[in-house]
């Protein structure tokens, strides 16, 4: 499984993926109820992705995706872009990955694991986005 080629490529994937994710009303409603801010600190290449369901964005809505945000996260997740790619496709056993040190979390692990059940429908969208961006080699 390759890593993403650049920060710009990974940023493009998230910028394309996130509007599709927000369009899933069931997931959106559950995330709004969570009121959480989650930051993904990704390496190889390095990027910091914050998903904010606590503070309204410039459009007044919750669920803002931003890069290098100053919003204080309740949960911070560290992994490589390869591991992140597997995660967003639903191909990563998060508990095993944490035990192996492939994923590190700060904040409430119980809350983080609780979010997994809420976002599972998004795991079908991520590979579609990769295909749409002609990143077929990144599909697991």
Q: Which two tokens stand for residue 128?
A: 């579609």
Please list the alpha-helical segments (H only) found in 69-124: 81-88, 94-99, 109-119
CB-based contact 39:77 (threshold 8 Å): yes
- Domain 7-133 indexed as CATH 3.30.1050.10: yes
Q: Tell me whether the omega of the peptide bond preceding residue 45 falls within 30 degrees of 0, making it cis.
A: yes
Query: Could you tell me the pLDDT band of residue 109, with boundaries at 50, 70 and 90?
Result: confident
pLDDT at 54 over 80: yes
pLDDT at 2 over 90: no
At 12-22, the pLDDT tens digits run 999 999 999 99
């Amino acid at each position: 499984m390759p890593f993403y080629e650049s920060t710009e490529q990974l940023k493009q994937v998230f910028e394309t993926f996130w509007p599709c994710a927000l369009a899933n009303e069931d997931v959106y409603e559950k995330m709004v109820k969570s009121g959480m801010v989650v930051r993904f600190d990704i390496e190889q290449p390095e990027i910091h992705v914050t998903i904010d369901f606590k503070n309204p964005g410039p459009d007044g809505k919750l669920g803002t995706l931003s890069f290098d945000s100053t919003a204080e996260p309740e949960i911070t997740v560290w992994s490589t872009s390869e591991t992140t790619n597997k995660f967003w496709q639903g191909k990563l056993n998060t508990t095993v990955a944490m035990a192996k040190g492939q994923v590190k979390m700060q904040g409430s692990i119980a809350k983080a694991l609780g979010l997994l059940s809420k976002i599972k429908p998004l795991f079908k969208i991520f590979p579609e986005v990769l295909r749409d961006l002609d990143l077929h080699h990144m599909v697991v």
